Structure 1
């Protein structure tokens, strides 16, 4: 099978596309992949590192207010469609799969106009502008959250498949996660992650909270700061009493996140769609602090979906303090029955077979054409 993947700007669009690509090559060895993104997005670095052929188009997003930039975006879109048609005619894909982000627009639209089968995947509860626009042209839509289906009424073929990133973590080895942190298997720990670059609000709350954790003497804390906050946070944690400091593990980044995640007793995290897919696939209880600095505030509906199901607690960033974060962590880690109920609810939401479901949809769409 020859598949074009497109989507970019953030890892939330890129990693689902790569997960779909992996599923295709595993199910059909010998398949060929081409990724079309922008030269300025993260995909221009991440995709070639995965050994996947990469081509770029130039496109920018629409602004939500009247702006001369929107006229320029229309011009770039037309040029992007023209460039995409050239790339598609050359590669001759069996299907084009888009996972959102502005670059997805001209590529998927061009494919539909060339009569090439198309599928888009939406990661968040509230769809992005690009995917809503494309839904009237594509052959199929796959969504991560059941609540998203209603937003794609212009497409007759919509499936609730889950997020393909969930499929990548199901075989993670817990013992290797403990070992990589220098912890004995079964040690209860709270994994605190502020995203790939870290989050100042979460960093400040954690620093404020740490002197309070003496009431949880058996619990360790693993804080992934991001590079920019690592040095300052490490210095602050070294000033804690030794009884607490020895239970605090500060790292800038975790390379084996699936293994560490599978070993965690509780996760404190932003509410990016890929992260939530991994958390629920493993059935981990969580405290979610959605970022307010994302398009359309899409992380808050993501977090609310888990909170409403009993799988997570949600704290809005404007309410976040060290004391409030501690009270939530203490309530969950101090009550094994509650933690077990949250884990069960999380697992009920998990869709570890998401990549396989999307692959099956791809093959169905391809056969119909």
Structure 2
């Protein structure tokens, strides 16, 4: 039987590309399995997909700051490599597709030890730490941005563009408004801080809330533990995260305020949604979201508000400016030439699998 194993996790951005690809492999008769962490968001997201067994392994986190866990986590990574090696040897997949995140490192190393080919996907302009560790052990790397080739071995690099879920365009604005209890009287503003939330964005939105609800109905995805139960308003809805129903919420949204993770912003782009991007700072990340946001800004797809400059007043001004100029952004997005990426990536993965099976 044709068997593929997917890996990636830690945040929804490290899972959504896998979720986009999995239905195609199931339709083509592949046995699809997933290796993730014990407690990451990937377990919840993948468990909702029928006929995809989930195998949890130990994993550590590579932190940029001093923490006691930095002493213990290398041992977790070693344990995860052993678990992944044994699992891959037992399940004998023809190929492994890795989206990145800390859990992917043990899986990639376990695959390399079993001589199973690995295809990696890098969403951002510059590779993240987990992918930088994994890339030397991979057969190929798929990139979203053409600029990423400057940071990679060009023999392994394949610029494919953004991998977008096919169902992302299936949302119903009417269902989204029914889900939130909204009307057609005001435009809808969607606030997304990523699956893990964004404390500074959450705090600033709430400081500006009394003025924002005068103009907008607001859906606020706050991240785990981010809901403020002390706030109640008919034009303001809070959720930690929306999985089922997110396409409907996206369909009803007139504007989006978001972090600048590559997978999310390309989904907004595919829907022609005007967006205000608030990238993670360099203190919080390696600066990848800043590069993503600048790339979209230079293409005329978004406006950018840097977190260091964000206050309740500057946020309100930026949202109002985006709303007044929304037609300019939707026009720029509708004029771009969208590539059909899924078939290209599918052929690349199946080609690697065929080469392994022919050995």
Instruction: Name the TM-score, length of structure 2 as normaliser.
Output: 0.84
Cα pair distance change 1:42/1:221, threshold 3 Å: closer
In structure 1, the residue matched to 2:58 is 58
Cα 1:298–1:350 change in 2 (3 A) is farther
Structure 1: tracts of 5 or more residues without a match: 239-245
Aligned to 1:9: 10
Q: 1:265 to 1:162 in 2, by over 3 A?
A: same
The aligned counterpart of 2:354 is: 367
Do the aligned partners of 2:11 and 2:195 also contact (CA within 8 Å) in 1?
Answer: no
Q: Which has the higher helix share?
A: 1
Give the corresponding residue for 2:301.
Answer: 311
Distance 1:230 1:353, change over 3 A: farther
The separation in 1 between residues aligned to 2:197 and 2:69, in whole angstroms, is 30
Deviations 1:195-251 (A, max 9, x none): 3454332233223334445885xx5333334553332332xxx4xxxxxxx6x2323
d(CA) in 2 for partners of 1:251 and 1:63?
30
Distance in 1 separating the partners of 2:38 and 2:337: 34
Q: Deviations over 1:301-354 (max 9, x none)?
A: 2222212211111111121112111212222222xxx32221233356685743
Given candidates 246, 265, 272, the residue that maps to 1:276 is 265
**Quick one: structure 1 residues 352 and 186, their matched pair in 2 at CA, closer, same or farther if it must change by over 3 Å?**
farther
SS in 2 for 1:169: helix
**Do the aligned partners of residues 17 and 145 (structure 1) sit closer, same or farther apart at CA in structure 2, a change above 3 Å counting?**
same
**2:169 is paired with a residue of what secondary structure?**
coil
**Alignment-derived partner of residue 231 in structure 1:** 229
Residues 39-188 of structure 1 mapped to structure 2, 5 A cutoff: 39-51=38-50, 52-64=52-64, 76-153=76-153, 156-183=155-182, 188=187
| Post-superposition offset of 1:72 | 5.9
Q: Which moved more, 1:158-167 or 1:343-352?
A: 343-352
SS at match of 1:231: coil
Do the aligned residues in 2 keep the contact of 1:146 with 1:160 (CA within 8 Å)? yes
Given that residues 167 and 354 in structure 1 are in contact (C-alpha distance below 8 angstroms), is that contact kept between their aligned partners in structure 2? Answer: no
**Aligned-pair distance for 1:19?**
2.4
Task: Quote the Cα distance in structure 1 between the aligned partners of 2:35 and 2:213.
Answer: 51
1:37-65 Cα distance to aligned partner (Å, 9 max, x none) = 22243334433343421223323244558
Residue 297 (structure 1) shift: 3.7
Q: Which moved more, 1:122-131 or 1:62-71?
A: 62-71
- Aligned pair count reads 350
How many Å separate the matches in 2 of 1:267 and 1:127?
A: 26
CA RMSD of aligned residues (A): 3.0
Distance 1:186 1:21, change over 3 A: farther
Contact kept in structure 2, 1:175 and 1:185, CA below 8 Å: no
